[in-house]
Amino acid sequence: MSKFDYFAKNQKGKKKKGIMEASSKKEVAEKIKADGFWPVYIDEIKKKSTKKKIFSGARSIPLKAKMIFCRHLGVMIASGLSMSKALDILSEQEEHGSFKKIILELGSDVKKGISLADAMLKHPQAFNKVFTSMIKVGETGGSLEEILNILSAQLEKDQKLISKIKGALIYPAIIIIVMIIIAILMMMFVIPKITKVFEEFGAELPIATKIVIAISNFMANNVILTFGFIFVIVGGISFFYKSDVGKKVFHKFFLKIPIISTLVIKLNSARFARILSSLLKSGVSLVEALKITSDTLGNYYFKNSVGKAALDVQKGKTLSDILSNNKTPFPFLVIKMLKVGEDTGRTPNILKKLADFYEEEVDQITQNLSAIIEPVLMVVIGVAVAFFAIAIIKPIYSLMNLV
């Protein structure tokens, strides 16, 4: 038995879609007709290998490609082009291979009578819940052009923020990587040669020197095991970070580190305000908007706080009162501005201004981040150099004095 994805209509225009198990397409068609519907399309769902799933899931679509897609699609719809025609044109213009294929599939589904939002649901690697929910609201309310413009602006903001943060972290990341590489090379190739000098003189060595020599001997004599150990450590940390317990530990740690905590709080606050504002403006209910927004936040504690708020709002509580809880990670300004928005009935507009404010704050932090991190790196490098000086250079001077 195989599984088939189908879409059907009846004489009154009622639509029906779903997945059915059958031995053939013909059997699916007969069952659909027996229910009084006529099949528009029937596609067999082919089983994908795990390897392919892992590979395809890793290939994310660039934010810039999605931003241009939204902007151009909005312009084309405003000029009177049909959705299917607009998607055909966009697929021809798209340079990113994976996204090009997705747009082609969107066009194919739209021609079969499927809504754009439902077609996008088939491609979660390209279109998240925020995207599909807003598109659905736009199609239902006849404001798709406006929704696409809002999405385009949101994606542009996201791209700028991510680019700035990445740009600020490149310098310290390179320095740390180079330091680790130099340390490994010294331990494997330089320290063993110095160790021979110590052995020839038979000098009594400090405990720090003995530790360095022991580690160096192990790394030099067990190269494969050393790199295997490093791989296991890095892989273990990565696996732990992705687990629920790991996220709680690391994300709590990020909220406690000076400078980093400020960046995390303001970044998540900006994203919360921007996405919630966009969803509320597009007509999504507050409860649904909070559920969607919680899925887009990076920090576990922000995500958890907004997820719980969605449940409490259903009980009749105001969002500002819910977030004023002592355990919430949101800053006082967010809660205060939400309260103003609720009292004046202008929550989406207030949230947009709040997002603009925090995005400017994040921009300022990222501009100064390299300058802030540089002295910290200098201290770390200084400590590393001092340790090697005490462990290696000091005993060498002692031996020279004996000679």
pLDDT of residue 360: 87
Which class for 354: exposed (0-12), middle (13-18), buried (19 or more C-beta within 10 A)?
Answer: buried
Residue 81 confidence (pLDDT) above 60 = yes
Q: What is the CA radius of gyration of the chain?
A: 29
DSSP 8-class letter at 17: E
pLDDT tens, position by position, 293-309: 888 888 999 999 998 89
pLDDT tens, position by position, 261-280: 888 999 899 889 988 888 88
3 state DSSP class of 43: strand
Distance set, CA 266 to CA 163, 272, 322, 355 (Å): 16, 10, 19, 9
- The answer to whether domain 2-48 and domain 153-403 are alike in fold is no
The architecture (CATH level 2) of 153-403 comes to Up-down Bundle (1.20)
pLDDT of residue 47: 53
pLDDT of residue 41: 66
pLDDT of residue 106: 92
pLDDT tens, position by position, 341-387: 999 989 999 998 998 899 888 888 877 776 777 788 888 888 887 88
pLDDT of residue 23: 75
Could you tell me which of 320, 349, 348 has the C-alpha nearest to residue 335? Answer: 320
pLDDT of residue 103: 92
How far, in whole angstroms, is CA 92 from its chain's centroid? 28
Q: What is the mean pLDDT of residues 47-69?
A: 59
pLDDT of residue 206: 77
Give the CA dihedral 7, 11, 13, 15, nearest 10 degrees.
Answer: -30
Residue 340: which pLDDT band, with cuts at 50, 70 and 90? very high
pLDDT of residue 53: 35
pLDDT tens, position by position, 13-36: 677 777 787 777 778 778 888 888
Could you tell me which of 241, 246, 319, 258 has the C-alpha nearest to residue 287? Answer: 319
Question: Picking from 112-126, 156-170, 244-258, which range would have the lowest pLDDT averaged per residue?
Answer: 156-170
Q: Which of the given ranges, 106-110, 159-163, 216-220, has the highest pLDDT on average?
A: 106-110
Q: What is the mean pLDDT of residues 25-49?
A: 73
Q: How far apart are CA 167 and CA 27, in angstroms?
A: 57
Q: What is the mean pLDDT of residues 87-108?
A: 89
Residue 190: which pLDDT band, with cuts at 50, 70 and 90? confident
Q: How far apart are CA 157 and CA 115, in angstroms?
A: 27
Could you tell me which of 75, 111, 109 has the C-alpha nearest to residue 90? Answer: 75
Locate the domains of the chain by residue range: 2-48, 62-127, 153-403
pLDDT of residue 52: 35
Q: Within a 13 Å sphere around the CA of 373, how many CA atoms are in the beta-carbon half?
A: 19
Q: How far apart are CA 305 and CA 293, in angstroms?
A: 11
Residue 202: which pLDDT band, with cuts at 50, 70 and 90? low
How far, in whole angstroms, is CA 400 from its chain's centroid? 56
Contact 250, 241 (CB under 8 A): yes
DSSP 8-class letter at 8: E
Pairing state between β 15-22 and 2-9? antiparallel
* Run of H or E including 92: helix 83-93
Distance set, CA 304 to CA 104, 132, 244, 278 (Å): 37, 22, 12, 20
The two most distant CA atoms of the chain are separated, in Å, by 104
Query: What average pLDDT is seen over the chain?
Result: 82
Enumerate residues 6+ apart whose C-beta is below 8 A from 303.
Answer: 294, 295, 297
Q: How far apart are CA 78 and CA 231, in angstroms?
A: 53
Enumerate residues 6+ apart whose C-beta is below 8 A from 380.
Answer: 179
Distance set, CA 229 to CA 218, 235, 382 (Å): 12, 10, 27
Matching residue, tokens 């192990």 = 218
Q: What is the mean pLDDT of residues 112-137?
A: 86
pLDDT of residue 130: 79
**pLDDT exceeding 70 applies to what percent of the chain?**
93
Matching residue, tokens 């404001």 = 143
Give the Cβ contact number of residue 163 at 10 Å. 13
- Tell me the two tokens of residue 277: 């504002």
pLDDT tens, position by position, 160-185: 877 877 777 787 788 888 888 888 88
Residue 78 confidence (pLDDT) above 80 = yes
Higher-pLDDT residue of 40 and 321 is: 321
Q: How far apart are CA 137 and CA 348, in angstroms?
A: 16
Q: How far apart are CA 122 and CA 105, in angstroms?
A: 9
Q: How far apart are CA 283 and CA 274, in angstroms?
A: 15
Residue 49 confidence (pLDDT) above 60 = no
pTM, 2 dp: 0.67
Residue 283 confidence (pLDDT) above 90 = no
Cite the DSSP H helix spans in 255-331. Answer: 260-281, 286-296, 300-313, 319-323
Enumerate residues 6+ apart whose C-beta is below 8 A from 7.
Answer: 15, 16, 17, 39, 40, 41, 112, 113, 114
Distance set, CA 206 to CA 54, 81, 188, 394, 398 (Å): 50, 79, 20, 9, 11
Residue 147: which pLDDT band, with cuts at 50, 70 and 90? confident
Class of domain 2-48: alpha beta
pLDDT of residue 57: 35
